[in-house]
Amino acid sequence: MTFSLLGRCERTGRFGIAITSSSPAVPSRCAYVAAGVGVANTQNVTDPRLGPALLDALREGKDAAAAVAAVAGAAADAEYRQLAAVDAAGDSAAFSGSESLGINGDRPGAGCVAAGNLLATEAVLEAAVASFEAGDPALELEERLLRGLEAGIDAGGEAGPVHSAGLLASGVGEATWPITDLRVDFDPDGAPVVELRRLWSIWEPQRDDYVTRALDPSGAPAYGVPGDPGD
């Protein structure tokens, strides 16, 4: 069982995804992002090859709908897969194969798309999209995605316990790498999104300084224990 929310920040042009699952280490297999290109997701009996294929299709100039259609059309066993993407224009699309598990589906929204399987109710998808669409554009993209994931959980979440979660977001401009990549690979207590929220509270105030370290190390502040310049 997996539930995800993908989105684009209209203010900065950044892309990201928040995701949670009953399976361990879900973002390592499902979440993909590329600065200036878009964000993609592959889940439900996951084929990790399909996320990079979606990004490649977006790089070729396809919009989200064409990219999802092309990858789903060419994929083996596509009816077992769920795919989602948001493109550089903020358009979104998704595909849920006929063999998707349990209560499942996808909901494209303005600059976002939610997808899930083995959900408690389809209202989970509606809540996540509504939260993102109503979010303050001044907020960081990661915060809006995390709030959307939390809204979906508040609406019922998945049908059973979840154990992993992740928050992945692109940079912009010269920061071509994912500047946020937070993961909870396995929470035995079934509250990985709570732990993800805690990790984001630690990472958010430091995030941009780590970008500065890469682009202008002479002007970068240090973090870590006293006397340790950090990584």
Neighbours of 136 (CB within 10 A): 9
Q: Is residue 149 part of a domain?
A: yes
Residue 189's CB is within 10 A of a number of other CB atoms, namely: 9
User: Which tens digits make up the pLDDT trace of 82-109?
Assistant: 999 999 999 999 999 999 999 999 999 9
Q: Is residue 19 part of a domain?
A: yes
The verdict on residue 226 lying in a domain is no
Counted domains in the chain = 1
pTM, to two decimals: 0.95
Q: Round to the nearest angstrom and report the end-to-end CA distance of the chain.
A: 35
Q: Above 50 in pLDDT, residue 6? A: yes
pLDDT tens, 162-185?
999 999 999 999 999 999 999 999
Q: In 1-119, at which residue ranges do the beta strands (DSSP E only) sit?
A: 2-8, 15-21, 31-34, 38-43, 82-87, 92-96, 105-109, 112-117
Residue 40 lies in a domain: yes
Residue 53 counted as domain residue:
yes
In a domain, 186, yes or no: yes
Q: Residue 40: which domain range?
A: 2-219
pLDDT in tens, 120-151: 999 999 999 999 999 999 999 999 999 999 99
**CATH number (domain holding residue 38):** 3.60.20.10
* Percent over 90 (pLDDT), the chain: 93
Amino acid 219: pLDDT: 81
Model pLDDT, residue 227: 44
> Which pair of tokens denotes residue 192?
């990985």
CB 122 within 8 A of CB 144: no
In a domain, 198, yes or no: yes
CA–CA separation, 204 vs 76, rounded Å? 39
Pair 111, 95: CB distance under 8 Å:
no
Q: How confident is the model at residue 192 (pLDDT cuts 50, 70, 90)?
A: very high
| pLDDT tens string 15-74 | 999 999 999 999 999 999 999 999 999 999 999 999 999 999 999 999 999 999 999 999
Task: Classify 189 as helix, strand or coil.
Answer: coil
| Domain assignment of residue 141, yes or no | yes
- Give the pLDDT band (50/70/90) at residue 224: low
